[in-house]
Amino acid sequence: MKQELTKIVKPIVNWYQSQEKTLPWKQDKEPYHVWVSEIMLQQTRIEAVRKYYARFMQELPTIQDLANVSEEKLLKLWEGLGYYSRARNLKKAAIQIENDYQGKMPTSYLELLKLSGIGEYTAGAIASISYQEKVPAVDGNVLRVISRVLASKEDVLLPETKRKITKKLLEIMPEEAGDFNEGLMELGEKICIPNTTPLCEKCPIKEFCIAKKENLTTKLPIRIKKQKRKIEKRTVFIFKYKEKIAIRKREKTGILANLYEFPNILRRNI
Ligand code: SF4
């Protein structure tokens, strides 16, 4: 298995290095830029992130600016991106960097993991892209590519599968760790695409891909969904007096914490 995967390293690195880097956060490997872009890209499409990223960097060009920004301004910069805890965690981590790391981004995977809101994927992305540390950064794209290359029948939604793939990648990480990780992610975004037939003819690793050989590309990866999303029905009140409309602040914790909304109540049995 390790042998199979070793073969994909060089073609992925070469392919990634030959790709044009048009996205603003790919123009340099500055850790602050990699960090903010990776957090914004979680749950958000690349095209939507472009304008948010540009505005964020214009308003908060340094970690110090982020540490000192008011919550109101921060949330305004994030407005529309959703998952606001990401923005709050960015600020918390920036304060940690100011207090514990003399204002400089930590330079190792393990130290990065100590920062608020930075999990294994983001720590791996920053450590490999900015510092060339040989650690994987396994997101959904990477899981899909590797599952197809190995024709793995394991459920990619299980943490155990992710752990196994991370371990396999750790064994084959090259010196060009950042380019390899970014290459895998980009291959998943552009060529080894989800929910449809991947563009195998354009793929730089097609000769090593078992799913392609065995005609399994549209059947993999395996994703077994367990829980249905919880749906709440609410009655929303609009209280209007002349030009004024009543809004209220949400709870300090939970979904959309501290943001504003129209007064509403849960609907029961309707
Ligand atoms: S050959 Fe096809 S299925 Fe295999 S990694 Fe490339 S794009 Fe994905």
Query: Which atom from ligand 1 is nearest to the alpha carbon of 220?
Result: 3
Q: What is the pLDDT of residue 21?
A: 85
Residue of 19, 24, 18 lying closest to 37 (CA atoms): 24
**Ligand 1 mutation pick, 12, 15, 191, max ligand atoms within 8 A of CB:** 191
pLDDT at 95 over 70: yes
Q: What is the pLDDT of residue 225?
A: 83
Give catalytic residue positions: 38
What mean pLDDT, rounded, does the chain reach? 94
pLDDT at 54 over 90: yes
Distance between Cα 215 and ligand 1 center (Å): 10
Tokens of 151: 């024709």
Question: Which residue has its alpha carbon closest to ligand 1 atom 2?
Answer: 200
Question: Which residue has its alpha carbon closest to ligand 1 atom 4?
Answer: 209
pLDDT at 228 over 80: no
pLDDT digit string (tens) for 256-266? 888 899 999 99
Superfamily of structural domain 24-131: Hypothetical protein; domain 2 (1.10.340.30)
DSSP-assigned letter for residue 250: P
Distance between Cα 212 and ligand 1 center (Å): 6
pTM, entire model: 0.85
Query: Which atom from ligand 1 is nearest to the alpha carbon of 209?
Result: 4
Distance between Cα 23 and ligand 1 center (Å): 24
pLDDT band at 241 (very low <50, low <70, confident <90, very high): very high
Query: Which atom from ligand 1 is nearest to the alpha carbon of 191?
Result: 7
Q: What is the pLDDT of residue 192?
A: 98
53-67 mean pLDDT: 97
pLDDT band at 175 (very low <50, low <70, confident <90, very high): very high
pLDDT at 1 over 70: no
Q: What is the pLDDT of residue 4?
A: 76
pLDDT band at 216 (very low <50, low <70, confident <90, very high): very high
Give the start-to-end residue ranges of the domains of the chain: 24-131, 234-266
Q: What is the distance of C-alpha 18 from the center of its chain? A: 23
User: In this predicted structure, which of 3-7, 45-49, 95-99, 227-231 has the lowest mean pLDDT?
Assistant: 227-231
Q: What is the pLDDT of residue 226?
A: 77
Percent of the chain residues topping a pLDDT of 90: 83
C-alpha distances in angstroms, 14 versus 6, 11, 47, 137?
A: 14, 5, 25, 18
Collapsed DSSP state (helix, strand, coil) of residue 155 = strand
Pair 141, 181: CB distance under 8 Å: no
Q: What is the pLDDT of residue 85?
A: 92
269 by Cβ neighbours in 10 Å (0-12 / 13-18 / 19+) ranks as: exposed
**Ligand 1 mutation pick, 206, 208, 222, max ligand atoms within 8 A of CB:** 206
pLDDT at 7 over 70: yes
pLDDT digit string (tens) for 118-164? 999 999 999 999 999 999 999 999 999 999 999 999 999 999 999 99
